[in-house]
């Protein structure tokens, strides 16, 4: 049996049509829902943390240009996702696309890698959600009930388990089981809250912007502590793009809901590219205001993760309430990110189980809500164990490497599909093929190479475990064996 055997495109299209017959995932999402899902996944704490980090470490006030470069890299992959999602509107995203273009083994690798993006990402964000909730409540939650057993406070108190992280995962799991439309409606409310707070910061902060903080715009050559090529000038802008790139992660999760879109051929491209475009505009404006309110040099030592709150409290006198609202926005951002990550992971597992590569329980739908409820419960246990009993620092950049790997495969897949199946109807076509896919592969591969060796080795270990699972179980149970 060939490792490169492919799932016929006709089989994928047949599976995509199940929802119209009342037996598959329910089609309830329109373009507005999908844009909100994309924004829900993209705007998390990354905006509030990565902006100051990129400015301080590499790009200075030119962090706005870094956002544009990072958005360009995402746009290459996003256009490829949009073509696939409109052409093959099926749950599973990059996994499903790889199955029909590069074969079963590559598809399995992608599906396994997406666990790093979605499941591990949800756990990591749930841990951070707990930390920010406790910060908002002035430490009202006892240390032992908000930290893992592997953590010890400065006063010697050991953690027991992270209760708030488990609670938010449980609430969002129950919401996902209830239905995709209900989840999308709650997500839309959360998105409105956090986007409104971001806009308020931009609007209020604009009056406090000092043009002197933007001069010089890029970090000049010879600046102490910025001697390296990628620490000043255009080199710094490029490195800054690598730092803020991870604030864009999540738009690809829109494609996992393709099988639940009412008009996927129209709604998917709008949802993917629309959410990416809106977030890019907000990011550039946010970066402009933040580095205009406070000098970028101060973010090296002051504020750190609370950099936005630091800028408000230090330079925007009388607006302390806005610092509290920022924390609320971060909590809202985390909540919607977790929601979309859990939704994305369950849909990838649903598609893999339908193909026989995972046990059938991951594809079983609730008799009333038509959601993969058993998969949701299994994910809650898996993600909850990580979030409740392990520190968030263990995740590192693993979430990012899983995402970038998927971007590479989807970009390459569009080019391959254009050559092998030119006759297939494409409601949306990525422009300038093969240039756009090639640039997507190059930009995202470069990001993978730039990650630290420990992250790369850990990801390799995870993939080796995936190979064992594939050869012991999945290869023998594949529906292509029939």
pLDDT: which is higher, 427 or 16: 427
Given a cut of 70, whether residue 467 has pLDDT beyond it is: yes
pLDDT-derived band at 1 (thresholds 50, 70, 90) equals: low
pLDDT of residue 24: 63
- Tell me the range of 18-22, 301-305, 393-397, 454-458 where mean pLDDT is highest: 454-458
pLDDT of residue 10: 77
Pairwise CA distance, residues 42 & 35, whole Å: 10
The two structure tokens encoding residue 256: 């996992």
Given a cut of 90, whether residue 432 has pLDDT beyond it is: yes
The two structure tokens encoding residue 51: 């902006």
User: Could you tell me where the DSSP H helices lie in 251-319?
Assistant: 264-293, 307-315
Backbone phi and psi for residue 152, each to the nearest 5 degrees, phi listed first: -130, 135
| Contact of 46 with 335, CB cutoff 8 Å | no
Strand partners of residue 144? none
* Distant-in-sequence contacts of 302-309, Cβ < 8 A, 24+ apart: 303/52, 304/52, 305/45, 305/48, 305/49, 307/48, 307/49, 307/51, 307/52, 307/53, 308/48, 308/51, 308/52, 308/201
pLDDT of residue 45: 62
Secondary structure letter of residue 479 according to DSSP: G
> For residue range 338-364, what is the model confidence (pLDDT) as tens digits?
888 898 889 889 989 999 999 999 999
Given a cut of 80, whether residue 424 has pLDDT beyond it is: yes
Contacts of 64 (CB under 8 A, 6+ apart): 284, 287, 288, 291
Pairwise CA distance, residues 390 & 106, whole Å: 30
pLDDT of residue 115: 84
Contacts of 277 (CB under 8 A, 6+ apart): none
pLDDT-derived band at 16 (thresholds 50, 70, 90) equals: low
User: What is the average per-residue pLDDT within 211-226?
Assistant: 91
Which DSSP string do the residues of 314-339 spell out, in sequence order? HHSTT-HHHHHHHHHHHHHHHHHHHH
Percent of the chain at pLDDT > 90 equals: 31
pLDDT of residue 325: 85
| Contact of 63 with 51, CB cutoff 8 Å | yes
- Cβ of 20: how many Cβ atoms within 10 Å? 9
pLDDT of residue 120: 84
> For residue range 122-140, what is the model confidence (pLDDT) as tens digits?
888 888 888 888 878 888 9
Pairwise CA distance, residues 97 & 410, whole Å: 7
User: What is the average per-residue pLDDT within 170-185?
Assistant: 86
Give ∠ CA 261-428-27 in degrees, rounded to 5: 10
pLDDT: which is higher, 251 or 367: 367
pLDDT of residue 257: 76
- Tell me the range of 41-45, 83-87, 271-275 where mean pLDDT is highest: 271-275
Q: Is 473 exposed, middle or buried (0-12, 13-18, 19+ CB in 10 A)?
A: middle
> For residue range 68-117, what is the model confidence (pLDDT) as tens digits?
988 988 899 889 988 888 888 776 678 888 888 888 998 898 889 888 87
Given a cut of 70, whether residue 22 has pLDDT beyond it is: no
pLDDT: which is higher, 407 or 359: 359
pLDDT of residue 304: 52
Which DSSP string do the residues of 67-113 spell out, in sequence order? HHHHHHHHHHHHHHHHHHHHHS--TTTHHHHHHHHT-HHHHHHHHHH
* Mean pLDDT for the chain overall: 85
Q: Is 328 exposed, middle or buried (0-12, 13-18, 19+ CB in 10 A)?
A: middle
Pairwise CA distance, residues 482 & 469, whole Å: 20
Q: What is the homologous superfamily of the domain 26-112+183-378+395-481 according to CATH?
A: Amino acid/polyamine transporter I (1.20.1740.10)
Which DSSP string do the residues of 110-130 spell out, in sequence order? HHHHHHHHTHHHHHHHHHHHH
Percent of the chain at pLDDT > 70 equals: 94
Per DSSP, the three-state class of 375 is helix
Given a cut of 60, whether residue 385 has pLDDT beyond it is: yes
Given a cut of 70, whether residue 17 has pLDDT beyond it is: no
| Contact of 146 with 374, CB cutoff 8 Å | no
pLDDT: which is higher, 398 or 282: 282
The two structure tokens encoding residue 216: 């010089």
pLDDT of residue 238: 85
pLDDT: which is higher, 207 or 264: 207
> For residue range 245-271, what is the model confidence (pLDDT) as tens digits?
767 877 777 877 777 888 888 888 898
Strand partners of residue 146? 162
User: What is the average per-residue pLDDT within 323-333?
Assistant: 84
Q: Lowest-pLDDT range, 1-5, 268-272, 414-418?
A: 1-5
| Contact of 372 with 350, CB cutoff 8 Å | yes
pLDDT: which is higher, 206 or 81: 206
Q: pTM of the full predicted structure?
A: 0.79
| Contact of 333 with 132, CB cutoff 8 Å | no
> For residue range 157-174, what is the model confidence (pLDDT) as tens digits?
888 989 999 999 999 999
């Amino acid at each position: 049996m060939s490792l490169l055997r492919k799932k016929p495109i006709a089989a994928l299209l047949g599976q995509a049509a199940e929802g119209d017959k009342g037996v598959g995932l329910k089609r309830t999402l329109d373009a507005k829902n999908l844009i909100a899902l994309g924004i829900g996944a993209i705007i998390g704490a990354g905006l509030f943390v990565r902006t100051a980090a990129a400015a301080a470490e590499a790009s200075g006030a030119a962090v706005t240009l870094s956002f544009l470069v990072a958005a360009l890299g995402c746009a290459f992959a996003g256009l490829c996702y949009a073509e696939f999602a409109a052409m093959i509107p099926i749950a599973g995203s990059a996994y499903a696309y790889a199955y029909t273009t590069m074969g079963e083994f590559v598809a399995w690798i992608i599906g396994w890698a997406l666990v790093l993006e979605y499941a591990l990402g949800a756990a990591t964000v749930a841990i951070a959600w707990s930390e920010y909730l406790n910060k908002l409540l002035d430490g009202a939650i006892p240390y032992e009930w908000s930290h893992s057993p592997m953590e010890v406070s400065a006063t010697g108190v050991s953690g027991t388990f992270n209760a708030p992280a488990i609670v938010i995962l449980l609430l969002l799991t129950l919401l996902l089981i209830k239905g995709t439309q209900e989840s999308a409606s709650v997500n839309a409310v959360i998105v409105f809250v956090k986007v409104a707070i971001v806009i308020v910061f931009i609007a209020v902060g604009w009056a406090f912007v000092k043009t002197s903080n933007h001069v010089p715009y890029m970090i000049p050559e010879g600046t102490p502590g910025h001697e390296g090529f990628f620490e000043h000038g255009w080199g710094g802008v490029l490195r800054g793009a690598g730092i803020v790139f991870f604030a864009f992660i999540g738009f690809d999760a829109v494609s996992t809901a393709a099988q639940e879109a009412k008009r996927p051929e129209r709604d998917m491209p709008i949802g993917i590219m629309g959410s990416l475009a809106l977030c890019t505009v907000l990011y550039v404006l946010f970066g402009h205001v933040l580095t205009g309110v406070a000098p970028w040099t101060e973010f090296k030592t002051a504020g750190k993760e609370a950099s936005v709150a630091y800028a408000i409290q230090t330079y925007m006198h009388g607006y302390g309430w806005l610092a509290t609202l920022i924390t609320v926005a971060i909590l809202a951002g985390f909540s919607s990110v977790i929601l979309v990550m859990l939704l994305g992971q369950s849909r990838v597992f649903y598609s893999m189980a339908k193909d026989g590569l995972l046990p059938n329980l991951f594809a079983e739908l609730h008799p009333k809500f038509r959601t993969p409820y058993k998969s949701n419960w299994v994910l809650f246990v898996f993600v909850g164990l990580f979030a409740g009993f392990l520190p968030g620092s263990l995740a590192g950049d693993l979430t990012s490497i899983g995402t970038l790997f998927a971007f590479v495969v989807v970009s390459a897949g569009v080019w391959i599909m254009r050559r092998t199946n030119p006759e297939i109807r494409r409601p949306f076509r990525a422009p300038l093929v093969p240039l756009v896919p090639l640039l997507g592969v190059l930009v995202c591969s470069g990001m993978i190479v730039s990650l630290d060796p420990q992250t790369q080795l850990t990801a390799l270990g995870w993939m080796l475990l995936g190979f064992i699972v594939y050869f012991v179980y999945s290869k023998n149970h594949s529906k292509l064996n029939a």
